[in-house]
Structure 1
């Protein structure tokens, strides 16, 4: 036997040669002439190897010092050492910051009630808190759930990341300043929505001596920590972004300006659950909406509402939209990523529920199966403030059919099971489906129609 004559070392070489010859067998007839003699085997392989290099790839290698030169080109391929190399690893500065804060961290993307989220001590925020951050390296934001104790206040702070705050419960006030000489204060209550201008000093106060106040703040802290990799810069930078905020007295007065595509620019909304909204028929039956621009941020938010017995069209977009239910007695969201929806999850709503879109391949769809109108707030990443003319205000593709290159599934293209689930939920709640104008197999009645402006 050839392996016996060559010994163990030769056997290993032969096995390696045989594997390579098996690949080359279709390239040259010489392989068929091989015998078990090792010399002829090796010689034949050299001819095969030469054939492959010259006839197939027309490449020749010569060795010079620690590089291999590919003749016929000007490329030099450095030799990689076989031993002693280590993986190049970098710590996550955002994760390190969370650890140093000692704050509780959640990685879930669905919370039935923000009021019931368990918190831990968070000294910086003046009471207790937690951070919601889904384990996704591309997640562009996080959500801070903060509770200030009765009569309490947060530590004064400023930082190089944006945040938009929604008050879940209680009442209080915020003081903001660029320098100690000119401070501005405004009061807020449950349902208020506002943003802190980038790198401005601020301090939050609980206005009650008996009850705690709780709010959420969606921030773009994760990418900012990972970009600069320096906590001192994040928290100690003294640059004043006066183009965003220059201590204007009426900055948080609540006044605003309406633009095309339902864009409302304002730095403070006193009562988000009851603010005026505008028609957005592209997103579904009877839907109304306002796209919010606050403090010249890159991070964005919007508010949408839809009637009893209706639901919105399924769509997808980038990760990080945090949806908070502002009003409604019932409803749910469906979330899935696989085409056959085998991973579909149903997230039931209650007042103060929060659902987060976890990744950019995630379809999601919202349903009002309750007995009152349903309104939600979406706190989300932005588009760097760049809107194309004639588009924008919700994403260029979020309200465009997948048949037209967009990210939205039209009613006529959705699976029948989607509507079947909805009618079952309505029946349990004693409500009537009003999707007859859009869904031919709907067993309910006509509600909003496609001709309606909303």
Structure 2
């Protein structure tokens, strides 16, 4: 049956078996729009498809009838079918339309300040909390909510959600936006539901720092615990909001330092929250030294600043990506993955798994130690810091191979034993 035969009544085209040893099918074909693609098109607003933007406010925003504001959809390369993304503008002194939906959604305030009203069907009282530039919060599944702009200028927010996952499975807009089910287990109605909670606990999967809170007033300057997995002095926390499967983290590299390159599959985008920087990304099969091996032309460099974003792995398979701080202040990022992260890779429950993006190549992971990386990386970074008048804070000893490690880049271009 043809994919466009939604009713099962037939298209009038008769399929023919291949003759002799020929193969069936076209061989090459165009990717068809998913139900979520069709939904985005029906909304009548722009859809950005690309590797990233310098800052999200560079994207055009046009009248968005359903939301009651102005906006643009975002589908960064590598996130297709994995999760949804958009930017929305609330008119000065006004509010967006009330809505509810059967998917998870988080918001990051880019400009302005205001309030958010949240309630369940039939509730007499509404939960109301204030947000400002840099606030991040989550809307409980299928709860009613309304975003209000409290200023005399337009307010801008960026959002991520699991709309593609739900719409692509249900293929019914009404079932998603007009579903009567109430998730009492995901929105308790407690008075302190949107109170910021600073307590840190280990996440139950990888033991990394996690903060259970449905609201963060300022992700730009909130406290972050020490992590050290990406670079010396690297700080990181995973917010866990409204029992979401949507995964994201907030992290910061010290000024004058950069991240070790590491590889994983597509899903993540990196959003700059503070400072300025750039990211290199290239296919893992090119190995850890693409410039030295004559493949520097296949490395993509993406520059961004506060509230700009870039894709980490645009190619579907594992891609290396490496993040560089080039400003005098620390480089703070938030990574959004949708319902995907390395802790959810294939495997039966209880199967042993490794935090492979934090293990270096000689340890069987996908992280490239400074002494394993292409010399071009260091040379380019040091030149940029000198141009920007930023102090270099990379210890020269980090580029020296530790004694007793036997590793040959020519024999191991990709990490072993990882799904």
TM-score (norm 2): 0.79
Cα drift, residue 138 of structure 1: 5.2
**Alignment match, 2:311:** 356
- State the SS of the aligned residue for 1:355: strand
Farther-moved stretch of structure 1 (130-139 vs 260-269): 130-139
- State the SS of the aligned residue for 2:371: helix
- Asked if 1:165 corresponds to 2:107, the answer is yes
2: distance between equivalents of 1:207 and 1:281?
39
- State the SS of the aligned residue for 1:98: helix
Change (3 A) 1:386 1:431: closer
**Alignment match, 2:233:** 286
Q: Larger radius of gyration, structure 1 or 2? A: 1
- Asked if 1:422 corresponds to 2:381, the answer is yes
- State the SS of the aligned residue for 2:117: strand
Structure (1 or 2) with the greater helix fraction? 1
**Alignment match, 1:197:** 140
- State the SS of the aligned residue for 2:357: coil
**Alignment match, 2:129:** 186
1: distance between equivalents of 2:271 and 2:302?
12
- State the SS of the aligned residue for 2:297: coil
**Alignment match, 2:89:** 147
2: distance between equivalents of 1:413 and 1:217?
37
- Asked if 1:253 corresponds to 2:199, the answer is no
**Alignment match, 2:327:** 370
Q: List structure 1 segments (4+ residues) > 6 angstroms apart after TM superposition.
A: 85-90, 384-389
Structure 2 unmatched ranges of 5 or more: 1-14, 203-207, 291-295, 402-419
Farther-moved stretch of structure 1 (396-405 vs 172-181): 396-405
Q: For the Cα contact (< 8 Å) 1:303–1:375, is it kept in 2?
A: yes
**Alignment match, 1:206:** 149
TM-score (norm 1): 0.73
Task: Give deviations 1:146-189, integer Å, cap 9, x for gaps.
Answer: 11110221111111111111000100111111124232111100
Equivalent residue for 2:160, pick from 218, 224, 244: 218
Structure 1 unmatched ranges of 5 or more: 1-78, 442-454
CA-based RMSD of the aligned residues comes to 2.8
- Asked if 1:105 corresponds to 2:81, the answer is no
Equivalent residue for 1:277, pick from 224, 242, 246: 224
Equivalent residue for 1:307, pick from 240, 245, 254: 254
**Alignment match, 1:403:** 362
**Alignment match, 2:297:** 342
Higher relative contact order, structure no. (Cα contacts within 8 Å, ≥ 6 residues apart)? 2
Q: For the Cα contact (< 8 Å) 2:64–2:70, is it kept in 1?
A: yes
1: distance between equivalents of 2:362 and 2:319?
18
> Would you say how many aligned residue pairs link Structure 1 and Structure 2?
358
1: distance between equivalents of 2:99 and 2:342?
26
- State the SS of the aligned residue for 1:125: coil
Q: For the Cα contact (< 8 Å) 1:263–1:291, is it kept in 2?
A: yes
Cα drift, residue 262 of structure 1: 0.9
Cα drift, residue 293 of structure 1: 0.8
2: distance between equivalents of 1:202 and 1:220?
17
Change (3 A) 1:256 1:432: closer
Task: Give deviations 1:204-242, integer Å, cap 9, x for gaps.
Answer: 11111x200001001121122111111111111111111
Cα drift, residue 298 of structure 1: 0.3
2: distance between equivalents of 1:182 and 1:251?
14
Cα drift, residue 377 of structure 1: 1.4
Farther-moved stretch of structure 1 (139-148 vs 87-96): 87-96
- State the SS of the aligned residue for 1:422: helix
Change (3 A) 1:199 1:439: same
